[in-house]
Structure 1
Amino acid sequence: MEHTRPTEGLRRRQFVRLSGTAGATGLLGLMGAGRALADGGGEHQAPEPAPPAPDGPGATTCPTPSTLCGYPSDTGGRYDLWDRVQVCEGTKTGPPFPQCLRTTPTYVILNGGSGSNHDYLLVPSCRISGIECPFITTAAAPNYWLEAWNNAQPGQPGHVVYPNIGLGINSADPSIRQQDQLHIHLAGIHSGIQTQLNNYDATITNTPSRWRNQIVPIWGLTSAGNPAPRSYRVLHVGNLNTNLFRLLLDSVVRPTGAAMSAQILAVTPRLIGNGGFYVLNSEPGLPVPPGQPGGTGTVDFLLAYA
């Protein structure tokens, strides 16, 4: 998939290649827990009702081709994933690759690159470069996050076989994102992430206007299994019926003067209280309280692929 900056020590994962509020004391306590915290078991898996099969949403308007959103004629290299979408749709021929798991008028589901049963991708059928494309925050855009969640459920082509599901999208940083076609990862989430979110739950807001100030340190893992503490803004939502890209734009990006292209988003179920979902956001320049680690432009510290 993507690779992180060398300073973050995360080895580059081979992308679909295309085969496919706590202070320093609290953070040190987390770090002392070691890898067991990030990958340990012991969580109760909340039962989830099987959702209806995604019904292939109707055709939608695509963004006007532009430097920011991309051009339909883009091909090869960093656009290989866009090539694959077109092959799935039958509008372009190409070399053999693992099957298109689901093709709809608005997205396709593909295997990720790890070969595991908890590594899939939802990729829009429109030419959309990534999180920086303004189209995804408009009313014309499909609810890609809800579709990703539905496709990750049992009986669906992107069924994530892992104790808990994590969905994620990376920033546009070219040292992190290898493919310039929007893709949401359908993967597992390290069990320790859920444990930490549970511990912070009483302080996590469900008010979008407070999201930008709700920053907590979360202990993740690099692809080599090394500790990767980073800070994230966390919001609790009751469902995924809202366009999360728009929510991020209105609640975080515009109020802080940040760049949409620098943001990451991750979604995972809330396993306590009245349920719902945690939405995590971060960026490399995230202002953090004293003693907390900085932010990140990658979701790879949270998600389990292989």
Structure 2
Amino acid sequence: MKASAPKGFRYWPHRSASQARRRKRTLNFSWLAAGWTPIAWCLSPAHALEVPRDHLWTLIHDSCAIAAKHQVYPPSPCTEVVAGPDGSGSYAVFKDHTGRFQYLVLPLARISGIESPVLEAADTPNYVAAAWNARLYVEAALHQPIPRDAMSLAINSAYGRTQDQLHIHIDCVRPDVHEVLQRLVPTLSEQWRPLAEPLPPAKHRYQARWVSGSTLPLDPFKSLAASLPRGDRMAAHSLAVVGAYSPKGEEGFILLSGRVDEAAGDRGHAEELQDIECTIAFAH
């Protein structure tokens, strides 16, 4: 199921890794230095119930997409709107209200979240890979590059989110989560299996698998969906992606999925693995 982007979008074609690195070196971050900040959407715990669950969708559909259509840059309140090479897979990059460094990637297509069957369709583009490429905005906010194993992506379950438009959180991984994953990398395989230890900060249990490559060669949504046993539902799962290195020093990713467990107080909130202060970046 393909989503068409309105004509006139500011178009950044998909780039190779080397092209992405060149763009990272040359991207002008003067808007950061000038103090430009996008409109923040307020979803703090105290106000989450006051904000409609389609608030994010309304922002990107009624504001960002229209601004991009008229060649306004940045397409406020978004930072960037990217059109797919064949008119599908368009997405917005948005500065989250949470912390100074966190960004979101959101499809311009109407996709509720991780449970949407659209994400399992063969012709649906890899939005998670797009989010990984958009990590340069976090680095811009930090004013420094950070190692791949300090960066993470998070998608909450249907029960652990406050908005019903798919949004992928881009932020640093928690240092204590990083420490556990570094220790467990040698135990990972290319099959989804229970992680040997629970993860901080709440000691929730996760499934995990290894993916080799400097960029994501597979779609984590499709990989997770294909691994679920009969009767299980994507809505009850969260998804996280953490950049990593294999024991041999090869680039790759750790995919993580938590499952809602009311008895354990687990809402499938993968954001818990991220650190809005980006402590690990400053440590590096």
Q: TM over 0.5, yes or no?
A: yes
**Partner-residue secondary structure (3-state), 1:219:** coil
Task: Look up the match of 2:115.
Answer: 132
Change (3 A) 1:157 1:51: same
Task: Look up the match of 2:241.
Answer: 267
Q: Give how far 1:154 is off.
A: 6.5
Question: How many residues in Structure 1 have an aligned counterpart in Structure 2?
Answer: 214
1:283 paired to 2:283:
no
1:165 paired to 2:151:
yes
Change (3 A) 1:245 1:214: same
Larger helix proportion, structure 1 or 2?
2
Listed as ranges, the matches of 1:49-198 within 5 Å are 51=21, 77-86=52-61, 87-90=63-66, 99-105=77-83, 106-117=90-101, 119-153=102-136, 164-173=150-159, 176-198=160-182
Gaps of 5+ in 2: 1-16, 25-50, 70-74, 84-89, 278-284
Q: Give how far 1:295 is off.
A: 5.6
**Partner-residue secondary structure (3-state), 2:272:** coil
Using the alignment, how far apart are the partners of 1:177 and 1:270 within structure 2?
26
Q: Give how far 1:270 is off.
A: 1.3
Using the alignment, how far apart are the partners of 2:203 and 2:81 within structure 1?
37
**Partner-residue secondary structure (3-state), 2:235:** helix
Task: Look up the match of 1:220.
Answer: 200
Change (3 A) 1:146 1:53: farther
With 230-239 and 155-164 compared, the bigger mean Cα shift is at: 155-164
Cα offsets for 1:19-63 (capped at 9, x unmatched): xxxxxxxxxxxxxxxxxxxxxxxxxxxxx9754659xxxxxxxxx
Gaps of 5+ in 1: 1-47, 55-75, 222-227, 287-292
Q: Give how far 1:115 is off.
A: 4.2
Using the alignment, how far apart are the partners of 2:265 and 2:197 within structure 1?
9
Root-mean-square deviation over aligned CA pairs = 3.1
Using the alignment, how far apart are the partners of 1:230 and 1:259 within structure 2?
19
Q: Give how far 1:98 is off.
A: 6.0
Task: Look up the match of 1:246.
Answer: 222
Using the alignment, how far apart are the partners of 2:233 and 2:270 within structure 1?
17
TM-score, with normalisation over the residues of structure 1? 0.62
